[in-house]
């Protein structure tokens, strides 16, 4: 089923701050690591993303007087959920999970590094116009289909999968290689949006 000439695996934000004990922990986030490590043996081409924020980033509640994490605010580019400080550039929380097999990965896309702009998607930042460069990289390398895993299903993974479709790639979500933050039904809402956009859903064992 995998065609290693045109398929690649995109591993989204498997970083300490999204794992149990981290600043923005995703429930059971670390459980994706062994699943992803098995997939790494099956895909010749692997790309990682790394949430990578400067101190005082605008997506942090701490940067907005009187706001607490998980509230939303209107920024100049639209509604932004405010998060606890997380994935600060150079911090241990921003490092990949120590057990994640990253050695052979071909590209690491860092995102959210502009102080006043967040980026959930691996393709386009939250203003929906600033590209990360991933689309051009994939086209240039001849990749036509992306398989997605990582954290969190309902934010960075879903936004990446939806943008992959928008950019004309086939997209497959490997569900047991992901975990969701799941605030107010955001987990199911993200699955519904991905279904509508033609993102296929499979389990790792299907491969
Ligand atoms: C993420 C919230 C803020 C994610 C990143 O990786 O899903 N979520 N920054
Ligand atoms: Zn972030």
CB of 83 sitting under 6 A from ligand 1: yes
Considering every ligand atom, which ligand is closest to the CA of 88? Answer: 2
**pLDDT band per the 50, 70, 90 thresholds, residue 102:** very high
- Percent of the residues in the chain that have a pLDDT greater than 90, as a whole number: 99
**Going by C-beta distance under 8 Å and a sequence separation of 6 or more, which residues neighbour residue 85?**
23, 57, 60, 62
CB of 175 sitting under 6 A from ligand 1: no
Query: Is residue 156 annotated as part of the catalytic site, yes or no?
Result: yes
**Going by C-beta distance under 8 Å and a sequence separation of 6 or more, which residues neighbour residue 112?**
51, 52, 53, 57, 59, 87, 118, 119, 125
**pLDDT band per the 50, 70, 90 thresholds, residue 160:** very high
Which pTM does this prediction carry? Answer: 0.97
Query: Is residue 178 annotated as part of the catalytic site, yes or no?
Result: no
Query: Is residue 13 annotated as part of the catalytic site, yes or no?
Result: yes
Angle at CA of residue 92, ends 87 and 93, nearest 5°: 35
**Which whole number is the average pLDDT over 101-108?**
97
Q: Please state whether beta strands 200-202 and 46-51 pair in parallel, antiparallel, or not at all (unpaired).
A: unpaired
Residue 103 neighbours by CB distance under 10 Å: 7
**Which whole number is the average pLDDT over 163-191?**
96
**Measured between alpha carbons, how far is 110 from 136 in angstroms, rounded to an integer?**
15
**pLDDT band per the 50, 70, 90 thresholds, residue 120:** very high
**Which whole number is the average pLDDT over 174-179?**
98
CB of 155 sitting under 6 A from ligand 1: yes
Q: What is the pLDDT of residues 34-76, one digit of tens each?
A: 999 999 999 999 999 999 999 999 999 999 999 999 999 999 9
Distance 114 CA to ligand 1 centre (A): 15
């Amino acid at each position: 089923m995998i065609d290693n000439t045109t398929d690649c695996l995109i591993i989204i934000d498997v970083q300490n701050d999204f794992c149990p004990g981290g600043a923005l922990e995703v429930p059971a986030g670390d459980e994706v690591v062994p699943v992803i490590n098995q997939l790494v043996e099956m895909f010749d081409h692997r790309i990682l993303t790394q949430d990578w924020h400067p101190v005082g980033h605008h997506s942090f509640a701490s940067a907005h007087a009187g706001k607490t994490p998980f509230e939303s605010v209107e920024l100049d580019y639209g509604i932004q959920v405010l998060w606890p400080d997380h994935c600060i550039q150079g911090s241990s929380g921003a490092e990949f999970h120590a057990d994640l097999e990253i050695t052979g990965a071909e590209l690491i896309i860092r995102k959210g590094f502009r102080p006043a702009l967040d980026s959930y998607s691996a393709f386009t930042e939250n203003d929906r116009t600033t590209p990360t460069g991933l689309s051009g990289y994939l086209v240039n390398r001849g990749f036509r289909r992306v398989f997605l895993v990582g954290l969190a299903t309902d934010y960075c993974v879903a936004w990446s999968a939806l943008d992959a479709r928008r950019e004309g790639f086939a997209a497959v979500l490997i569900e047991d290689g992901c975990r969701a933050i799941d605030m107010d039904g955001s987990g199911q809402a993200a699955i519904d949006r991905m279904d509508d956009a033609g993102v296929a859903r499979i389990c790792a064992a299907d491969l």
